[in-house]
Amino acid sequence: MNMPFTKYQGTGNDFILVDNRNHSFSEISGEEIKRICNRHFSIGADGFMLLNQKEGYDFEMKYFNADGNPGTMCGNGGRCMVRFAYDLGIHKNSYHFLASDGEHEAEIESGSNIINLKMKDVPGYQEVDGDFIVNTGSPHYIKFVSDIMDVEVVKKGTEIRYSEKFAKEGINVNFVEEKEADEIVVRTYERGVEDETLSCGTGVTACALVCHHNEVGYNDVTVITKGGKLVVRYDRNFDNSYSNIWLCGPAEKAFEGKIEIEIKKTTP
């Protein structure tokens, strides 16, 4: 059957988005998702998403990694999904949608392509041998480096992601270089893609939280990725938790089309 799709990107993190409000594509297999996310033989993307109807929400975001497996929260994907919803005619001043890690809010800045996405509160971070682990809807390992553009991200990221501690569930691996008190550079190896991506929204958020420049109170961190610039705004609380976290940056339509897919109906 033919499946209409639209491809979006947020700072180079790209996704295949499908309007599934009529449930036509709910039974798409992980094998098919993996096939169409392949950059050499099909459309190519870092992830695949279905926009579903959900009572009490503007929509539900169903996310899959490029390997075809169901994914956890994707920050750039969430921002692209909001832009997709708007382009489908779901026009709102603010959006309220459901993702794998719960409820989210989002806003589109008037007259621009900037999407502001509210992330889940984060209770804190774990320190491991001078590195950090933070869950921002997806788990992230954070390592500080100098000369970040010289880091072998895929080699080093693979070593950590497939180490004994993380091999079973997987973890995203972020390398961070601090430029200023409120500016950092981030490169990310993403599980499910098993490669470096140009940007990772939950990873950028995790790194910005660890790089707070105010011990308590409001923080505003600019994050440079290979795909562009994002801003993370948040409150750091007295108990070292984080709240009112917003991931802000561009989300843009790349192109749209149709692709022939196979849906294997399950027998009740």
Residue 63 belongs to domain with CATH number: 3.10.310.10
Residue 145 shares a structural domain with residue 157: yes
d(C-alpha 109, C-alpha 248), whole Å: 10
Residue 94 shares a structural domain with residue 80: yes
Asked whether residue 267 is assigned to any structural domain, the reply reads no
Report the C-alpha dihedral over residues 215, 216, 217, 218, rounded to 10 degrees.
20
Residue 8 shares a structural domain with residue 108: yes
Residue 55 shares a structural domain with residue 163: no
Residue 94 shares a structural domain with residue 174: no
Are 268 and 102 in contact by the 8 Å Cβ rule? The answer is: no
Residue 107 shares a structural domain with residue 160: no
Asked whether residue 268 is assigned to any structural domain, the reply reads no
d(C-alpha 61, C-alpha 75), whole Å: 11
Residue 154 shares a structural domain with residue 183: yes
Is pLDDT of 268 > 80?
no
Tell me how many domains the chain contains.
2
d(C-alpha 65, C-alpha 239), whole Å: 34
Asked whether residue 14 is assigned to any structural domain, the reply reads yes
Residue 81 shares a structural domain with residue 136: no
pLDDT value at position 99? 98
For 59-94, how does the pLDDT look when each residue is reduced to its tens digit (9 = 90+)?
999 999 999 999 999 999 999 999 999 999 999 989
Residue 58 shares a structural domain with residue 72: yes
What's the alpha-carbon Rg for the chain, to the nearest Å?
18
Q: Which of 216, 202, 242, 248 has the alpha carbon at shortest distance from 229?
A: 248
pLDDT value at position 264? 79
pLDDT value at position 266? 59
d(C-alpha 64, C-alpha 33), whole Å: 8
Are 13 and 201 in contact by the 8 Å Cβ rule? The answer is: yes
Q: Give the range of the structural domain holding residue 20, as residue numbers without chain letter.
A: 2-118+252-260
**Chain centre to alpha carbon of residue 178:** 22
Distances (CA, A) of 110 to 91, 92, 94, 113, 230: 12, 11, 11, 8, 17
Residue 85 shares a structural domain with residue 177: no
147 confidence band (pLDDT: 50, 70, 90): very high
Asked whether residue 265 is assigned to any structural domain, the reply reads no
Question: Residues with catalytic annotation?
Answer: 74, 200
Is pLDDT of 267 > 60?
no
Helix (H, G, I), strand (E, B) or coil at 138: coil
